[in-house]
Amino acid sequence: MSATNEGKTSGLHLLLAWGFVGIPLVWGLIQTIEKAMKIFV
């Protein structure tokens, strides 16, 4: 049974990958929250 050394993928790779999907998702979330806030207006 081989256990992997999970530390070898660079942090930059992880940051880029999560940023690639995270930035558009956060942008979309902010837009939706702004729209949802109209309930309280």
Q: Point out which residues bind another protein (CB under 8 A).
A: 1-9, 13-14, 17-18, 20-22, 24-25, 27-29, 31-33, 35-39, 41
Encoded tokens for 16: 């880029």
- CA angle 20-23-28, nearest 5°? 125
Least Å distance, CB 27 to another protein, is 7
> And the tokens for 35?
């729209």
In the complex, what is the shortest distance from the CB of residue 26 to another protein, in angstroms, rounded to a whole number? 10
Give the nearest distance from C-beta 11 to another protein in angstroms: 9
> How many residues appear in the chain?
41
